[in-house]
Amino acid sequence: MTQVAAWNNLDTQAVAISRALAMDAVQKVGNGHPGTAMALAPVAYTLFQRIMKHDPAKPNWLGRDRFVLSAGHSSLTLYIQLYLSGYGLELEDLKSFRTAKSLTPGHPEFGHTTGVEITTGPLGSGISSAVGMAMAARFEKGLLDPKSETKLFDHNIWAIASDGDLQEGMSAEASSIAGTQQLGNLKVIYDDNRISIEGDTHVSFTEDVSARYEAYGWKVIEVAAKSDGDVDRDALEKALLAAEAETKVPTLIRLKTVIAWPAPKLRNTAKSHGSALGAEEIAATKVELGLDPNESFIAPADVIAHARKVLERGAAASAEWEIAFASWEKANPEKAQLLHRLVKRELPANWESAIPVFEAGKDIATRAASGKVINAIAKVLPEFWGGSADLAESNNTTIEGGRSFLPSSSAMKDADPYGRIIHFGIREHAMGAILNGIALHGLTRPFGGTFLVFSDYMRGSVRLAALMDIPSIFVWTHDSIGLGEDGPTHQPVEHVASLRLIPNFNLIRPADANEVAIAWREVIRRGKPAGFALSRQNLPVVDRSKCGSVEGVAKGAYVICASDGKPDVILIATGSEVSIAIKAAELLAAENIKAQVVSAPSLSWYAEQDSSYKESVLPASVRARVSVEAGVGSGWREFVGDAGEIISLEHFGASASAGELFKEYGFTPENIVAAAKRSIANTK
């Protein structure tokens, strides 16, 4: 950022009106979180005005620092600075805080409000995704400037985290990774106000946070409050500058604050955390701030004009960056071409030709097929990278020759600060949030793997990926009782149905290796949040000369085996059960019963198709239908109708071989045949 003048009275007034605006916005709507926004006003103002590298007129400037408000409940902390800095929010937007269709919803929403880098609110998620952003910045540096010949691609990730953020387990997982990765571009300000909804946090949170973060390998800077309880702004700025200068390890600034400062009665109380302060307390607080107690939404023109000088500084910084970028671009034409493609979110011409085709008649687990496709994609997309939660060999998520993403100081084998293999450790929840942070950073395509049953640990992050509509890719293997002897603790039963319930999330359960290949192609092409449910056990590769084209995968469901003429019954299956349904169709044919087999790897993709296509797959005139899926049957009644039969698993599995379990629980051709006959009878 261009040099900022010394702090003056207009800056002090800007902080005062920031506090007043936080009170007024909550009071007007009648609900919200004023206390933290009041306490953090000098912190956020100092960051946006004096520390962070950003240009409000170019909110997507590649060279900008990123800001993450992990304490998303205090959204006014961010909105007020976006207003003061000239990001496009105006006073009317603050007046419409938390109301329908406003640009200032209760929690910051990515893609909704200019200047909001990430959706936050679920505590722990923001700081964890900030770790992902910091990792992405380093990986992108390796793509564009591996010899560090320029500072163009060096920037910081700033985050504000609350007591609640640091209590959530996922933040501990992510912070541990950040220390291992020595993410010197990550700077977290911990708002240590010792207040939550239930009061003093010491009822549940008494550890030495500074010592914990030092143990993680972070630099910790402690900043005490002033004697009156206000933020010691001068000490804070020195700490921020020290954090900015630290490039070898992540930094935690432990900042002591008093929530709702300087409210005379409600400062340092739980009530100020999540409730309006009331007219009387707001008036008294404005007196403390030197403001007119009878005026609401105070915004003096001279103060606003002063704050918006950050537009000039930002424009100067981005213009200087653009000049240096033009020189880099000229000197590095190939890397510049790559960067332009990544910024436009385009894919290389004919990249799909790298995706393998698997030979019919072979048996291959879909997790193994996925591993081969991952490596094929990696050869043509340098922006494609990822790993797993300590299950790479099982999930088949290793990029061959990709080297381990680890700092240059690491003594581990194959360590490379720009490596393509991420070792998340046994930290599924943090992995999900980190993937989201990488995806949000903008240029690369991340994936992460674990067993499907452990998707429960990361569901919050999966939901946020869907909510933000970002291209995070989740690779879940061991997708059913077919994993066998590990038993019910590891056998997902309800997970496929549960993940399908998340709006805007695409779950794909491929039937064979070639379905895996097309599914991966579609996931990359679409650039939407998606998850794979893949088998541990080997599955036959379907002979496409006898069955429908695998291209049908792109439409979510398709006729994989057509009947000779109008079918008597339709068998709908996913994943490993498709091959069983095909065998059942053969048995039915031997009894002169015509069965059409439908493979339905992605019900969400199928839902996108027009009615004529859906009719071709599931003709309304054929009411006899059977769904087959080795999990709970929730959701399938919509497809099989009132005459249909659902072959499902409505209880937990057991520790036994896959073959034994499939037979025991009715996932056999013979049981499908019996169900088909019952369904046909139901239509008469």
Helix (H, G, I), strand (E, B) or coil at 464: helix
Helix or strand run (H / E) with residue 416 = strand 415-416
Residues ≥6 apart with Cβ < 8 Å to 86: 56, 57, 307, 308, 310, 311
Geometric angle at alpha carbon 612, from 608 and 616, rounded to 5°: 100
d(CA 235, CA 256): 11
d(CA 488, CA 510): 22
Q: Residue 405 — φ and ψ, nearest 5°?
A: -70, 100
Place of tokens 């990249």: 351
In the chain the first and final C-alpha atoms are separated, in Å, by 76
Place of tokens 């299956």: 573
- Please give the torsion angle defined by the CA atoms of residues 475, 478, 481 and 487, in that order, rounded to the nearest 10 degrees: -130
Q: What ranges in 246-356 are assigned the alpha helix state H? A: 271-274, 279-288, 301-307, 310-331, 333-343
User: Which are the catalytic amino acids?
Assistant: 428
> Omega before 601 cis (within 30°)?
no
Helix or strand run (H / E) with residue 42 = helix 34-46
Q: State the SS3 of 118-186.
A: CCCCCCCHHHHHHHHHHHHHHHHHHHHCCCCCCCCCCCCEEEEEEHHHHHCHHHHHHHHHHHHHCCCCE
d(CA 89, CA 514): 49
